[in-house]
Amino acid sequence: MKIIFFPTDHSTNRYGAIITDGLKKRGIIMFPFEKASNNLKLLKHVQILHLNWYESLGKSTIIDLKRFMGKVFKLGLFKLLRIKIVWTMHNLMPHDQRNIRLKKYLIGIIVRCADKIIIHSKVSRDILNENYIGVDKKIVYIPHPNYIDSYGGLNDQFVMTTSKKLELLFLGAIKPYKNIELLMDVVSEFKNDVVLTIAGKPESLSYKASLIRYAENKPNLVLHFNFIPDSEIHKYVRECDLLVFPYDIKSSLNSGSVIMSFSMGRSVICPEIGTISDLPNYGQVLVYKYRTNEEHFDQLKSAITKAVEMKRTDINIFRNMGMALFDYVKKVHDNDKVINQLIKVYDDLL
């Protein structure tokens, strides 16, 4: 079987690397998206186009319009050539809200063009059915792959910090939609009880400078504003009790970072997004709900307050929660099963 898996570059995306490595091991031949989509001779050999985050555009109106037109043209070309299209729904909406109407329109076109739609959280089916007529027959639920073999340090994944304070970690690319400032504000109210480490590369130098200024006079914040290579991630994780992800619920649906945390033996503080709602036991995570920014502050603060009290009561509580979540993703999000289910989707289309 010969396919295109978009995006092609997986050097900074473990999700794509896990999927494509698994497919290649099973004999799937892959062509780069840009090379194949500009080569009609090569496209004649392609059977499947699998799209991820195809709805993302640029950072200005002009760039967005150009990319929109280019992406729609290529979708039309693939349909004309009778290449089967698979789309994985990762988010409710693109996180970048600029030109959001254009991006929503592009999502609608992708949904109509797709022969199958992969969802990683069960609530995604309801969301799609609420917004698109007749889409249900296209939808296939496949769990998000886990990251158990991706970041090293497995021998110390259940080693916990010995600090008496609650040690929180935000890990990942640092972008405005991730509510970092809100997280800083909340944690600054726990000066004697909580330490927050923020580790990752800000999207720009100006945003980095802004966050450094924002963190002034907040002594319980530790900032590591640089790219964290995969080989170093476990060193940060082993020094924390919990990872914290104050996601924007307007766009967030699935979270690879949450699955990564579980894969490394850690629980999370997180809003009730799709990844969380699939859990059979909410008792292993600190989940909260909110509707407004004011509610977000209050609910996040309540979740952290609860975590402080839990650690005071039982020093091993977060280790036990992390072990249970590790076992959960090892079983339910097994990568071999994920790849096998994905190949079945491909086979059923041909």
Better-scored residue on pLDDT, 124 or 283: 124
> Mean pLDDT across the stretch 181-194?
95
Alpha helices by DSSP H, listed for the chain, are 14-25, 33-37, 40-43, 61-80, 100-113, 123-131, 180-187, 205-214, 230-237, 256-263, 274-277, 293-313, 317-332, 335-349
pLDDT at res. 65: 87
> Mean pLDDT across the stretch 65-88?
93
> Mean pLDDT across the stretch 6-22?
88
Q: How far apart are the first and last CA of the chain?
A: 10
Residue type at position 198: I
57 pLDDT higher than 90: no
pLDDT at res. 80: 94
> Mean pLDDT across the stretch 276-289?
92
pLDDT at res. 64: 81
154 pLDDT higher than 70: no
pLDDT tens sequence across 39-50: 888 898 899 999
Other Cβ atoms less than 10 A from the Cβ of 59: the count is 10
pLDDT band at 157 (very low <50, low <70, confident <90, very high): low
Transcribe 226-248 into DSSP letters: S---HHHHHHHHTT-SEEE----
Contacts of 345 (CB under 8 A, 6+ apart): 86, 116, 118, 140, 142
Considering the entire predicted model, what is its pTM? 0.92
Four-point Cα dihedral 331, 19, 11, 268, nearest 10: -30
**Rounded-to-integer distance, Cα 256 and Cα 260, Å:** 6
Better-scored residue on pLDDT, 153 or 28: 28
pLDDT band at 206 (very low <50, low <70, confident <90, very high): very high
**Rounded-to-integer distance, Cα 250 and Cα 329, Å:** 26
pLDDT at res. 168: 97
Residue type at position 32: P
Q: Return the closest-CA partner of residue 198 out of 241, 236, 157.
A: 236
> Mean pLDDT across the stretch 12-21?
90
Better-scored residue on pLDDT, 40 or 106: 106
Give the chain's mean pLDDT: 92
% residues pLDDT > 70 (the chain): 96
pLDDT at res. 97: 67
Cis peptide before 7 (omega within 30 of 0): yes
**Rounded-to-integer distance, Cα 104 and Cα 4, Å:** 24
119-128, 140-149, 150-159, 282-291: least confidently modelled range: 150-159
> Mean pLDDT across the stretch 64-87?
93
344 pLDDT higher than 90: yes
Question: What is the distance of C-alpha 129 from the center of its chain?
Answer: 22
pLDDT at res. 61: 74
pLDDT at res. 79: 94
> Mean pLDDT across the stretch 89-111?
85
pLDDT band at 8 (very low <50, low <70, confident <90, very high): confident
pLDDT at res. 153: 61
Report which DSSP code applies to 94: -
**Rounded-to-integer distance, Cα 31 and Cα 114, Å:** 19
**Rounded-to-integer distance, Cα 339 and Cα 350, Å:** 17
**Rounded-to-integer distance, Cα 25 and Cα 308, Å:** 45
Residue whose token pair is 């036990």: 320
Residues of the chain with CATH 3.40.50.2000: 2-145+334-349, 154-331
Which fold is adopted by the domain 2-145+334-349? Rossmann fold (3.40.50)
**CATH H superfamily, domain 154-331:** Glycogen Phosphorylase B; (3.40.50.2000)
pLDDT at res. 282: 84
Q: Check the CA dihedral 128-129-132-135 and report its sign.
A: positive
Q: Check the CA dihedral 6-8-10-13 and report its sign.
A: negative
pLDDT band at 251 (very low <50, low <70, confident <90, very high): confident
191 pLDDT higher than 70: yes
Report which DSSP code applies to 282: G
Half-sphere exposure of 216 (CA within 13 A, CB side): 6
Q: Return the closest-CA partner of residue 179 out of 245, 118, 271.
A: 245
